[in-house]
Amino acid sequence: MTYTKYLTFCTKEKKQFVNITRTCQEIVDESGIREGFMLVSAMHITAGIWVNDNEYGILNDAMEFLEELAPTNKDYRHHNTGEVNGHAHLKNLLMHHQVILPITKGQLDFGPWQTVFYAEFDGQRNKRVIFKIIGE
Amino acid sequence: MTYTKYLTFCTKEKKQFVNITRTCQEIVDESGIREGFMLVSAMHITAGIWVNDNEYGILNDAMEFLEELAPTNKDYRHHNTGEVNGHAHLKNLLMHHQVILPITKGQLDFGPWQTVFYAEFDGQRNKRVIFKIIGE
Amino acid sequence: MTYTKYLTFCTKEKKQFVNITRTCQEIVDESGIREGFMLVSAMHITAGIWVNDNEYGILNDAMEFLEELAPTNKDYRHHNTGEVNGHAHLKNLLMHHQVILPITKGQLDFGPWQTVFYAEFDGQRNKRVIFKIIGE
């Protein structure tokens, strides 16, 4: 069995984490799938998906860390196209654009602090995420 | 068909790689699944899973590389909570907390040097990993 | 249902991106699988798989970014074995060696700019990639 859903995110900030854990569980519930894998994958190439702790300091540390490694205000080759979001493609590279969430007995099978975040690096516009479940 | 197993790791060192390739194959054997995917995913947010070569130099290069990018002794915002492991969350970000291992004819379908490591960044305490297989 | 295929890449350059999006879709077509997941995973430990935009500037930005973080001409511990590709193992760490592509109605279920790349970090020799599909 498979189940597919798409959601659109438009963040208030250019760079922002959005906690989508409850959304993921709701999609599992809708699907009726009790055992399997859920792929959560950004369909745009300037966003990521991250599983970590829902702690304010960590989220800020992570965004600052990515900003230090791939600064927003740097002159990337990509900007020759007229775009100004070269940094967001490199942040995507570091964070990765997808995760697989295990589903066991109809629940996201998480450790005590695991939280799923949509990580926006070039927001304030509509961007889609695919949630696809395979299982039984 | 799905098969799920949890293992607990308590490393001797704070930062350590643990070769879990044989463990993964044993779980495939137990499952009886001959074709499919095995998710190996850290359930804690200060550890990673990495597939690379079981070569002493590489493992030390990798840990040193992560230490340079996300130093242990830095004052992270996360430390305002009383925690002191901010670095380990960022190392998790870089390495990623999970891999999918292909299973073909009942075997991990690996290239010649591929080895699966549990990568601990804040050890000396019990931490769980989920192994979940889906296939036929 | 599962379907497995292996392809061998031998790039002209030592470091090079190869657009494999069409190849991935052809393998989906061959498989006859209409709904599921395709794992695309490098079987060597000095290559990666990346989903991003097929834009010349981005690809050059990404390779330069990885080169800055893990320089080719640095004296890694791994080189004590006689190897000279320590940098490529660290680039693999950052980019990750695999992705899961969602398949919906027989098509790679991608956003508007998503393109799949084989990322070679130590090329000019034969290296394999596994494509494995699970679905219905």
Q: Report residue B70's pLDDT band, with 50, 70 and 90 as the boundaries.
A: very high
Domain count, chain A: 1
Q: What is the pLDDT of residues C32-63, one digit of tens each?
A: 999 999 999 999 999 999 999 999 999 999 99
Does A94 lie at the interface with C, CB-CB under 8 angstroms?
yes
User: pTM for the complete prediction?
Assistant: 0.98
pLDDT at C99: 98
Residues A94-113 pLDDT 10s:
999 999 999 999 999 999 99
Residue numbers of the domain that contains B14 = 2-135
CATH of the domain at B59: 2.60.120.460
Could you read off the pLDDT of B12-23 as tens digits, one per residue?
999 999 999 999
Kindly report the three-state secondary structure assignment for every residue of chain C: CEEEEEEEECCCCCCEEEECHHHHHHHHHHHCCCCEEEEEEECCCCEEEEEECCCHHHHHHHHHHHHHHCCCCCCCHHHHHCCCCHHHHHHHHHHCCEEEEEEECCEECCCCCCEEEEEECCCCCCEEEEEEEEEC
C-alpha to C-alpha distance for C28 and C37, rounded to whole angstroms: 10
pLDDT digits (tens, 9 = 90+) for C77-122: 999 999 999 999 999 999 999 999 999 999 999 999 999 999 999 9
User: Predicted confidence band at B100 (pLDDT cuts at 50, 70, 90)?
Assistant: very high
Chain B residues in contact with C45 by the CB 8 A cut-off are 51-53, 111, 113-114
- What's the rounded Cα separation, in Å, for the pair C9 and C123? 9
Which amino acid would we find at residue C7?
L
Give SS3 for B3. Answer: strand
pLDDT of residue B83: 96
How many Cβ pairs closer than 8 A exist between chain B and C? 84
Chain B: partners with 3+ C-beta pairs within 8 Å: A, C
pLDDT at A71: 98
Residue in this structure with the two tokens 């709701």, named with its chain if needed: A26
Q: Is A132 helix (H, G, I), strand (E, B) or coil?
A: strand
Average pLDDT for A80-92? 97
Query: Is B8 in the A-facing interface, judged by CB distances under 8 Å?
Result: no
Backbone angles phi, psi at B133, to 5 degrees: -115, 140
C97 shares contact with chain B (CB less than 8 Å): yes
pLDDT band for position B89 (50/70/90)?
very high
Task: Give me the pLDDT at residue A30, please.
Answer: 98
Among the listed residues B114, B62, B17, the one whose alpha carbon sits nearest the alpha carbon of residue C76: B62
Contact state of C76 with B56 under an 8 Å Cβ cutoff: no
Q: Greatest CA span in chain A, whole angstroms?
A: 50
**C65 — contact with chain B (CB < 8 Å)?**
no
Residue with tokens 């000019």: C124
Q: Which of C49, C50, C53, C97 to mutate to test the interface with A (most CBs of A within 10 A)?
A: C53
The pLDDT value recorded for residue A90 is: 98
What is the pLDDT at residue B48? 98
